[in-house]
Structures are given as C-alpha cells and as structure tokens.
Amino acid sequence: MSQAPEDKPWGGRFTEATDRLVEQFSASVRFDRRLYAQDIRGSIAHARMLAHTGVLTVDECQRIVEGLENIRIDIEQGEFAWVDELEDVHMNIEARLIDRIGEVGKKLHTGRSRNDQVATDLRLYLRDEIDALNGKLRQLITVLLSLAEQEADSIMPGFTHLQPAQPVTLGHHLLAWCEMLMRDRARLADARRRVNVLPLGAAALAGTTFPIDRHYTARLLGFAAVAENSLDAVSDRDFAIEFAAAAALIMMHLSRFSEELILWSSAQFGFVDIGDAYCTGSSIMPQKKNPDVPELVRGKTGRVYGHLMALLTLMKAQPLAYNRDNQEDKEPLFDTLDTLHRCLDVYAAMMPHIKVRREVMKKAASAGYTTATDLADYLVRKGVPFRDAHAVVGQAVRHAIDAGKDLSELNLEELRRLSPKIEADALAALRLENSVAARNHVGGTAPAQVRAAIARLRERLLQPPA
Ligand code: ARG
C-alpha cells in the first residue's frame, strides 16, 4: 500500500503518492538490510562527530546512540519489520529511530546524505568481509601445506600440454596452488587499502554547510583516510570493482584446482580418491561417484566473473556524481562474497578427505618417458652439446616406444648403442627419485626444496599479506 507522499522521508515536495510498482521496483531493503550493522555503526560515528563539533548536544547524541543500539538489538532478535515503503536500509533504520526516540531522532541526518551514507556502509562492510576472506584463504593455504608436507616425496608426472613432461613431487604441485592463493591474499590486502577511505562528509555530492570533522569520524570508524573529493566519494564504486576482480582471480584459481581434482579423480588418472562425504552419486548409474564439489566450484566461477562484468558495466557511463544506478552494486557484490565464502569453506574442508594414490601417480610418472630431459642433461654433463643430446635421447625414446618399455627399463647396452658417452651412472639419472632430487634449488621440485618452501610459506603466513 502506498503511503501519502508526506510520509516518505523525502515526501515534502511531492503531491502524488509513489506508484506501488515504482515502490517495488526501486526498493532495495530486501537485499541492502544486510548492511544494517555497518549502517548503525556509521550513524553512531556521525552522531558522535556532530556532538564533538557542537552541532548536536551531548544529550541529543546520547539518545541517538542509545536508540540506534536498541534498533541493532531488535534487528538481531528478528524484531524489526523492514518495509519496502521506506526503500532501503538507511531510511528503515532512520524512521524506526524517530519512532523510538521522537523528535531528536530527526537530527541524525544533519550534514549527511544517503549518498555518502551508503558509500560508507559499503566500504565498512567490504572491509570486514575482506578480513574474513583473508582468514579463509589463510586456512585453505594451511590445509594445503599440511598435505604438501605429507606428500613432499610423492612422485607424480608434471604436465605441460596435459602430456607427461617431467617428474615432480605432489608436494611441489600443491605448493604451486599455495603460491596462487598467497597472491590472492596480497591482492585482497591491496584492494583493502583503497576500500579503507571514509566518504562521510561528502553529503549528497558537494559537502555540507555544517561544521564537521571528517578525520574524527574516520578515526571512530577505523578508516585510514578521508576521501579527498566529495563528488568522487559518493559516486565511484571502483573499490568494489577492484575487489570483484580480486575475487574473480581467486575463483579462477579455485577453478583450476577443481579441474585438476576432477581429472585426477577420474578412472583414467586415478591419482586421488575424493572421500564419499565430498562426492555424490548418480540417480541412474549405480557405479558412479562424482566429484560434484570441485565441479560446482568450477561452475560458480562463472557467476563471479559475471558479477565483475556487471559492476564494470554499471559504472562505465555514469556522469558525476551519485546516480541511483549504484544501488545495483549490492547484489553482485553480495553474491560474489557469498560464493567466495562457500567455495573457500568447502575447499578447506574437502582437502583432508582427499586420499592420494601414490603408487598410481608414480607409475604414471614412470610410464611417460618423463626422465628424458634428465638423460639429455646427463649427456650435456659428459660434454655433448644440448641439441645433440636432445636428438640422442629422442632416439632412445623412439627405441623404448618400439620395445614397449619405459626409459628406465632400457639396459646399459641398449643405451650405449645410442651414444658411447653413456656409462653405468646414466641409469641413476633415469630414476624418478633422482630426477626430482636433482632439481635442488629454490623453486625446484626436490623434496628438500619442498620442505624448505613449506617452512618459508608458514613464516610468510604469520606476516600481514603483502
Ligand atoms: N539505496 C540507495 C543505494 O543503494 C541509497 C542511496 C540513495 N540515494 C538517493 N539519492 N536516492 O544507492
């Protein structure tokens, strides 16, 4: 039911009631009520700042703060009736404040606008969420590091072009995932610096005629700086877009991990077994056990990419300063956050349920001629130029394929036929364990390096992300 226009907080200049259709079309309270805690926090800080500069008396400020705190309790106890007629979280809370504490409640909105208010709420919200997500990335990295430690010596084929390339350790492979997630943490931390700036004081767009102390408000809310330009402060959502881009990269990484887990758990690879608790079956094929969790994570990546594009497009043609378009920033942002939280939670929980089939992995490594480079490197150490060594080993591989053997199964006589430089110690170079152990430098796959890298990563996790 439409209210008479004068019942709207902005109804003074209107003579006709808002069409019900418009009310429903423009209301955002169904989704922006999520910002209630930040909205109340921001309002309390604003009221305190107004008391600090003498715009409100200490008593007025106290009544407003108490009223807002009681509203927070009502909301948390499910005793707050949100109404579409009051459009958004801001006007719902303000109207309730006036109901509760009377006339003095009407003074809260002095020297501010919903335009700087919503930008403040969103920044406070996103800042909290970034901190929570950083904790979750840290958790996932920690779980992966345990698995990497356990699998520091486990040999698997490393791939390029998804063809067996050179042996690596599974620990090393998992550390590659960790590095990606470490950069994701750093990206979030970097985005946070630009989120952590106070818009309040910009008011609708031009600032306010009241004596305000923006640095005081910033201190109360823990913002590192105040926005320098009022027009910019109320309008740009680049901080949210930047976060969405960092989120898209996180999902891209999770999607790559998922793709590998899906491949690895297939009958064809058989490298890992994902525990029953993290798989589902088929309603028709009784034998099936499907890797639904990684599949869904891979699938959800699409919606997060979509939200990034939605936010970029939302912003691209907006003239300064605030436009109502910006109300559309919330649903993509919230869904991005929800998706990230769920994917990171389920991933960290799933990792301990992944059983590694070491023997299968190792067999796959030995079946793929993956030590061919080691034999070529051996010849180089014997003085053969690398290009010639490459050709000789190519022939060795050809010979092994024809003989239906792996390189490590060729005997010394067969090898010596290809090059007289090959001596008994070449056989050692063809062993998988020696191949990985030989890559013994920072960033290499040798088990000793994997263990050292794990220790360094654990140290890095104790530092603030950078
Ligand atoms: N619900 C609005 C939003 O999300 C709040 C700001 C409204 N400002 C305005 N002038 N209509 O952006």
What pLDDT, in 10s, does the model give residues 218-229? 999 999 999 999
pLDDT at 318: 98
> Nearest 5 degrees, angle CA 341-CA 343-CA 344?
65
Of all protein residues, whose CA lies closest to atom 3 belonging to ligand 1?
327
End-to-end Cα, the chain, rounded Å: 52
Ligand 1 near 235 CB (within 6 A): no
Higher pLDDT residue, 231 or 367?
231
Q: Is the pLDDT of residue 178 over 70?
A: yes
Distance 183 CA to ligand 1 centre (A): 34
Distance 356 CA to ligand 1 centre (A): 52
pLDDT at 1: 45
In the 8-state DSSP scheme, what is residue 18? Answer: P
Ligand 1 near 120 CB (within 6 A): no
Q: Is this model's pTM higher than 0.75 or not?
A: yes
Candidates 26, 109, 161, 255; catalytic one: 161
Contact 153, 447 (CB under 8 A): yes
Candidates 26, 146, 266, 282; catalytic one: 282
Q: Which residue has the tokens 């029953």?
A: 276
pLDDT at 308: 98
Which homologous superfamily does the CATH classification assign to the domain defined by 5-110? Fumarase/aspartase (N-terminal domain) (1.10.275.10)
Map residue 235 onto helix, strand or coil: helix
Give the whole-angstrom CA distance, residue 182 versus residue 461: 8
- The mean pLDDT of 397-420, rounded to a whole number, is 91
- The mean pLDDT of 389-416, rounded to a whole number, is 92
Hey, CA dihedral for 321, 323, 325, 331, is it positive or negative?
positive
Contact 148, 175 (CB under 8 A): yes
Amino acid residing at 24 = Q
pLDDT at 407: 87
Give the whole-angstrom CA distance, residue 241 versus residue 307: 9
Tell me the best of 88, 112, 117 to mutate to test the pocket of ligand 1, counting ligand atoms within 8 Å of each CB and taking the most: 88
Q: Would you place residue 5 in the very low, low, confident or very high pLDDT band (cuts 50, 70, 90)?
A: low
282 included as an active-site residue: yes
Report the share of the chain in percent with pLDDT over 70: 99
Hey, CA dihedral for 63, 67, 68, 69, is it positive or negative?
positive
161: left (phi over 0), alpha (psi -120 to 50) or beta: left
Ligand 1 near 88 CB (within 6 A): yes
Give the whole-angstrom CA distance, residue 279 versus residue 266: 12
Tell me the best of 34, 327, 329 to mutate to test the pocket of ligand 1, counting ligand atoms within 8 Å of each CB and taking the most: 327
Q: Which helix (H) or strand (E) holds 242?
A: helix 238-264
Q: Would you place residue 6 in the very low, low, confident or very high pLDDT band (cuts 50, 70, 90)?
A: low
pLDDT at 183: 98
Q: What is the CATH number of domain 372-430?
A: 1.10.40.30
pLDDT at 4: 62
- List all residues 6 or more positions away from 182 whose beta carbon is below 8 Å from its beta carbon: 141, 457, 460, 465
pLDDT at 3: 52
Higher pLDDT residue, 1 or 124?
124
The domain segmentation of the chain, as residue ranges, is 5-110, 115-202+224-361, 372-430
Average pLDDT, the chain: 96
Q: Is the pLDDT of residue 2 over 80?
A: no
Q: Which helix (H) or strand (E) holds 96?
A: helix 89-101
- Report which of 33, 103, 169, 95 is spatially closest to residue 454, judged by C-alpha positions: 169
Q: Is the pLDDT of residue 391 over 70?
A: yes
161 included as an active-site residue: yes
Distance 137 CA to ligand 1 centre (A): 33
Q: Would you place residue 201 in the very low, low, confident or very high pLDDT band (cuts 50, 70, 90)?
A: very high
The CATH T-level fold of domain 115-202+224-361 is: Fumarase C; Chain A, domain 2 (1.20.200)
Nearest-atom number in ligand 1 for the CA of 114 is 6
